[in-house]
Structure 1
Amino acid sequence: MDNTIYQSMKSAIQLLENQNIIANNLANISTNGFKETFNVFIKDKNENNLYKTQTKKYYNFSEGLITHTQRKLDLVVKNNGWLVIKDQNGKDAYTKNGHLQINAQGQLTIQNYKVVGKQGDIKIPHNVNVKILSNGTIKEIENKQNNISEKIIGSLKLVCFKKNDLIQKDNGLFYLKKNRFNQNLKVLHDNTIRVQSEMLENSNVNPTKNIVDMISNARQFDMNMKMISMYDQNIERANQLFNVNN
């Protein structure tokens, strides 16, 4: 294959991958705790002194805008802290989405995924008032004849990671990267992580930037397609000339 077509096709494929990431960012503008994703294209010289382009995925872990909801089961996990949930396969996954719900079985969930507590799944008794302390402890509040009593129901499992330790999968959840150091590692609760209740962290996606990037990607993709089309036309004309001369 001619190098011109090869490079144009390779560039077009990379642009399509980038377009999918941008589209996913825009689709999750309203998803609580969502972290913006972007591709970075890096050019390196190989052993033959030729340039090779590599694509690396990065995440914007900056905090999104904070909304005061005044809902007892909403919370923000501060700094590098994460909530632990069980995905559809029962594996530990991590999220910044603090919009907690109670399912029909009384289990604490986030987006229908079970929330993991320090001692396992957390169940909330029916029709009780709860509050979540800054250390993740969940208490049942009961008011009888002006006497307020508090009872601990459970405690959230809060963990802390370095930014480069996590990778996001297609379900939108983050997972710990596997390597020879952590493949058998059990992630423990981190007592230093703090939460703030009655608040939610919004998505940190910048819609204006992503729309501009999407338009730019589309134009670059069209340019690559035109280059391939022009090359095909030139080859066809060259063949016609060759046939006439013979």
Structure 2
Amino acid sequence: MDALIYTVMSGAERIQRAQAVHANNLANLETAGFRANLEQASAAQVKGFGYDARHLSQARSDVISARAGSQRDTGRDLDLAIQGDGLFAVAQDGPDGAEAYTRGGNFTVDAQGQLRLGRHAVLGAGGPIVLPPHDKLEVLADGTVSILTAGQTELQPVDRLKLVRPDFAQLTKNEAGLLVTRDGGTPAPDPAVKVASGKLEASNVSAVEEMVATMNLARDFELQMRFYKAADSMAETGNRLVRE
């Protein structure tokens, strides 16, 4: 009976991890550009002599939903939304400034003129984008950032956002919730990726889907506990027969 108990408890642990994935998705329902994590389960045989009858459930939560979120108009120059497929490039935390990617486009400019997404520097063709003092800013559809400085009558291009379009199957999330490539590679800029200014893309999390999944997992957990009690009862009966 220990083989059955092992399998049941492994399944129950997988369900608890899956519930954490869906809870995190729901917590980011209002996070601009957030991409939902998808939880997947598979069966694996325990290796080693005498363990052929023992199996465990393995959970994966590093698969990302590529579904687009809805977009809303904000009218703010530094709110940007990618049209179709594509991602913004930003710098990760750390001295190396490795690249990460996101659909979130609620950018700001800090006191030093650096374009930022939260605490992350937004990357352009030559690295982090730094803007000189300006009176007006405009981002074109191809990601070109132009500004109007004092005394000028025409917008002048400063840099161009790095826009990439990697295969979503090759992406996962880092500790900050940003997208990174599984192999550590750096996708090249894709000139076909377009952006719209004055818009923000919402999270692609569906509250209904997440709640239904959570309820189904709760029922599955109850079923696993019934199996566990049944296995425990069978083991107790077998031990009593041996004693008698």
Which interval holds the TM-score relative to the shorter structure? 0.7 to 0.9
What is the aligned partner in structure 2 of residue 78 from structure 1?
83
Is residue 172 of structure 2 the alignment partner of residue 140 of structure 1?
Answer: no
Unaligned regions of 5+ residues in structure 1, if any? none
Q: Structure 1: how far apart are the matches of 2:46 and 2:226?
A: 29
**8 Å Cα contact 2:10-2:57 kept in structure 1:** no
**8 Å Cα contact 1:143-1:149 kept in structure 2:** no
Q: Structure 2: how far apart are the matches of 1:128 and 1:93?
A: 30
**Displacement after TM superposition at 1:133 (Å):** 0.6
What is the aligned partner in structure 2 of residue 121 from structure 1?
128
Superposed CA deviations along residues 140-195 of structure 1, whole A, max 9, x for unmatched, are 12576xx73212222211111122221123321111121xxxx5x55322222111
Is residue 118 of structure 2 the alignment partner of residue 111 of structure 1?
Answer: yes
Partner of 2:10, secondary structure, is: helix
Partner of 2:155, secondary structure, is: strand
Partner of 2:112, secondary structure, is: coil
Unaligned regions of 5+ residues in structure 2, if any? none
What is the aligned partner in structure 1 of residue 166 from structure 2?
161
What is the aligned partner in structure 1 of residue 193 from structure 2?
193
**Displacement after TM superposition at 1:66 (Å):** 0.6
- Percent identity reads 28
Q: Structure 2: how far apart are the matches of 1:217 and 1:54?
A: 15
Q: Structure 1: how far apart are the matches of 2:54 and 2:231?
A: 22
**8 Å Cα contact 1:80-1:162 kept in structure 2:** no
**8 Å Cα contact 1:85-1:93 kept in structure 2:** yes
Partner of 1:85, secondary structure, is: strand
What is the aligned partner in structure 1 of residue 175 from structure 2?
170
**Displacement after TM superposition at 1:63 (Å):** 1.0
Specify the code of the residue in structure 1 equivalent to 2:27.
A
Superposed CA deviations along residues 47-84 of structure 1, whole A, max 9, x for unmatched, are 97997755444322111111100000011122221111
Q: Alpha carbons of 1:230 and 1:41: their partners in 2 closer, same or farther (altered >3 Å)?
A: same
Q: Structure 2: how far apart are the matches of 1:49 and 1:78?
A: 51
Q: Aligned pairs, how many? A: 237
**Displacement after TM superposition at 1:228 (Å):** 2.0
Q: Structure 2: how far apart are the matches of 1:63 and 1:135?
A: 19
Q: Alpha carbons of 1:91 and 1:113: their partners in 2 closer, same or farther (altered >3 Å)?
A: same
Q: Structure 2: how far apart are the matches of 1:195 and 1:175?
A: 20
Which residues of 2 match residues 43-58 of structure 1 at below 5 A?
54-57=58-61, 58=63
**8 Å Cα contact 2:142-2:195 kept in structure 1:** yes
Partner of 2:30, secondary structure, is: coil
Q: Alpha carbons of 1:214 and 1:234: their partners in 2 closer, same or farther (altered >3 Å)?
A: same
TM-score by length of 2: 0.85
Which residues of 2 match residues 221-236 of structure 1 at below 5 A?
221-236=221-236
Specify the code of the residue in structure 1 equivalent to 2:100.
A
**Displacement after TM superposition at 1:40 (Å):** 2.6
**8 Å Cα contact 1:140-1:151 kept in structure 2:** yes
Q: Structure 1: how far apart are the matches of 2:109 and 2:240?
A: 72
Q: Structure 2: how far apart are the matches of 1:143 and 1:198?
A: 23
What is the aligned partner in structure 2 of residue 131 from structure 1?
138
Superposed CA deviations along residues 91-112 of structure 1, whole A, max 9, x for unmatched, are 1100000111112322111121
What is the aligned partner in structure 2 of residue 9 from structure 1?
9
Q: Alpha carbons of 1:79 and 1:44: their partners in 2 closer, same or farther (altered >3 Å)?
A: farther
**Displacement after TM superposition at 1:233 (Å):** 4.5
